[in-house]
Structure 1
C-alpha cells in the first residue's frame, strides 16, 4: 500500500504545507501549556514525550488501517489485517537501519523538545528550534557537495550572530541549557525532515517511525533503570498515572494525535511537492506563528531582546535561502 499516488498539485501542496506549519507551531504552544508554569506544571517531560509518541503511533496506524481497508476492500477484516501486516513488514522490515535512524531522530527531537520547554517560553523555543533546523540542513547541504556562495556564508554568519545574541544573556542559567537542548532537538528534526523527502508512503512511514521511537524510548528508560538502580519505566508511568493534572495528559494526547502524528504525515506529503530550499524557507514562519499562539493561549509577552535576535537569525537564514535560489 502506498498513500502517495502522485506529486500533489501546487494548490494542494500549499494547503498541506499551511496545515503542517500551524501544527508545528501548535506543538510549541501545547508543550509549553503542559510543561511550563514551574510548580503549576501539568505533567513531567518524560511522561509528555511517552504519551505523545504513543498516541501519535496509535493514530497513524489507525489511519493506515483505514486506508488499507478502503483500498483492498477485503471480504473479512482479518484478511485486511493480515495483508496490512505482510505489506508493512515487506516495506518496513524490523532490521532496517534507515528506519531506526529516523526513529532515533524523532525520539531525540521529541524528548529534548519536551525537556527544553520546561523553562523556555513558546516563542524562544520555536525560534531556537527552527533556527537550528535551518542551520543544520544548510550544513548537510555543504557536506553533500553543495559549495556555498559568498552570500550563503555571510547569511550563515549573521544567523549565528543572532543565535549568539539570543543565548549570551542567559549563559550559565537553566534557560541557557534549555536553549542548547532545543538546538539539539532542531538538529534532530532537520535530519527527520531530510529523511522525509525520501518517503514514498508518508502516513505508513510516520506510523513506523513513531512505533520504533516508542521502542527506543522504553529501551533508554530501561538502560537508565540499570544505570541508576531505579525503575525509570515504572517511575515514568507512575508519575503519569498519579498526576492530579490530567489536563497535561490530554494536552500530550492532542499533541501526539493531531499536531504530531497527523501533522508530520501531512508534512511528509507536502515535502513531495516542495524543493528543499522552499521547505526550509517556509519553516521560518513557524516561530512567528508560535509566538502569536504563546501570546494568545499562554499569556506570554515578547521581549525586545527576543524580537531583535529573532530578526537577526531569520534575516541571516533568509539571505542563505535567497542566495541558493539564484
Structure 2
C-alpha cells in the first residue's frame, strides 16, 4: 500500500510538471528560458539539501564526471520541454515526451544487441501509428517546431535515465546532474532577465516545478523504484500522460477529444504491450 501511494504521488508530481509549465508559459508569466533556469536551480537547491541531510557532505564528493554528462542531458530536456510547452497542450506534450522516452530506451535496448519478438514489434508499430495520428502534419494547426522540441526533450531525458543507470546511487547522481544543469543555465543569465521575461506568478510556478514536482518527485520515485520490477516501473510512467491530460482539462479547460484519447490509447497500449512481452520473454529465458 505504501509503495502504491508513493508511486501515485510521484506520477502526479511528474504530470504536474507539464501543468505548471503550461500555466507559466501559456500566459507569458515567464519565458521558456527563464522558467527553465528557475526550475533547474530550485530542483538543484532542494536535492542538495536532501542529499546533505541524508549523506552529509561526503555525498557530494564522487560521480562528478557522470554528473557533467547528466547535467547536459538534463538542461537540454528542461529547456526543450519549456520551449515545446509554449504551444503544445498539457496532455499532448506529456504524451509526446513519455512516448519519446520509452521509444529511446527501447532503441537503446535494440542497439545493445537485443532483439524484439513479433509481439514486441506489433506493440511498437501500434505506438508509432498512434503517434503519427497524434502529430498528423496534415491536421489544421499542426506546428512542427514544438513537436520536434518535445521529441528531442524526451530523447534527452532518456539519455539522462541511461546515464543514471551507471550511477552507484540515484540521489547523489541526480543532484549533481541538477547542479551541473544549473551552472549551464546560469551561463545564460545575462541575456535572460528583463522585466518582460518573467512575473512573480511565473517565478512561483518555476520554484514549485523545480523544488516540489521535480526535486521531491524524483526523491519519491527513486525511493520506490528499487522495490518494483522494471516492468511495473515502466508501466507506472505511462500513467503520467493520462494524468497530465486530465489536469489540462480540469485546470486549463483544454479540449478532451476522441481523436486525442484514441491516439493516447494506441501509443501507451503499444508501449505497454512491448514492455510486457519483453519482461515475459526475459522471465522465460531464466
The aligned counterpart of 2:18 is 28
> What secondary structure is seen at the aligned counterpart in 1 of 2:29?
coil
What residue number does 1:146 align with?
114
**2:176 match:** 208
Cα shift at 1:205: 2.2
CA offset at residue 322 of structure 1? 2.1
Change (3 A) 1:177 1:183: same
Q: Distance in 2 between matches of 1:252 and 1:174?
A: 27
Q: 2:260 aligns with which of 287, 303, 306?
A: 306
C-alpha distance in structure 1 between counterparts of 2:12 and 2:165, whole Å: 20
Whether contact under 8 Å (2:59, 2:172) holds in the other structure is no
Per-residue deviation at 1:63?
A: 1.8
Closer, same or farther in 2 for the Cα pair 1:105/1:269, shift >3 Å?
farther
1:235 aligns with 2:191: yes
Change (3 A) 1:87 1:307: closer
The number of aligned residues is 280
Matched position secondary structure for 2:238: helix
Structure 2: runs of 5 or more not aligned: 281-286
**3-state SS of paired residue (1:238):** coil
Q: Does 1:262 align with 2:216?
A: yes
1:174-189 equivalence runs, <5 A: 175-189=143-157
* Aligned residue in 2 for 1:156: 124
SS in 2 for 1:191: helix
2:83 aligned residue:
115
Counterpart pick for 2:50 among 34, 40, 63: 63
Give 1:282's aligned residue.
236
Distance in 2, Cα, partners of 1:33 & 1:198:
35
What is residue 5 of structure 2 aligned with on the other side?
15
Separation (CA, whole Å) in 2 of partners of 1:235 and 1:18: 39
In 2, Cα distance between equivalents of 1:170 and 1:61: 46
Maintained 8 Å contact 2:37/2:182: yes
How far the C-alpha of 1:319 sits from its partner, in A, is 1.6
Counterpart residue number, 1:193:
161
Instruction: Report which of the two structures shows the higher radius of gyration computed on alpha carbons.
Output: 1
Query: 2:44–2:179: 8 Å Cα contact kept in structure 1?
Result: yes
Residues 49-104 of structure 1: CA distance to partner in whole angstroms, max 9, x if unpaired?
000001111111122222346xxxxxxxxxxxxxx1x5522x234xx1x2222111
Write the distance in 2 (CA, Å) between the matches of 1:253 and 1:160: 35
Q: Which region of structure 1 is more displaced relative to structure 2, 170-179 or 305-314? A: 170-179
Which sections of structure 1, spanning at least 5 residues, go unmatched? 1-10, 70-83, 222-232
Contact between 1:59 and 1:257, CA under 8 Å: does it hold in 2?
yes
* Partners of 1:197 and 1:271 within 8 A in 2: no
TM-score, normalisation: structure 1:
0.80
Q: CA–CA distance in 2 between the matches of 1:294 and 1:31?
A: 11
CA-atom RMSD in angstroms: 2.1
Shift of 1:166: 1.2
CA distance in 2, matches of 1:87, 1:256: 21
Counterpart Cα distance in 2 of 1:172 and 1:52: 32
SS at match of 2:86: coil
Instruction: Tell me if 1:54 matches 2:41.
Output: yes
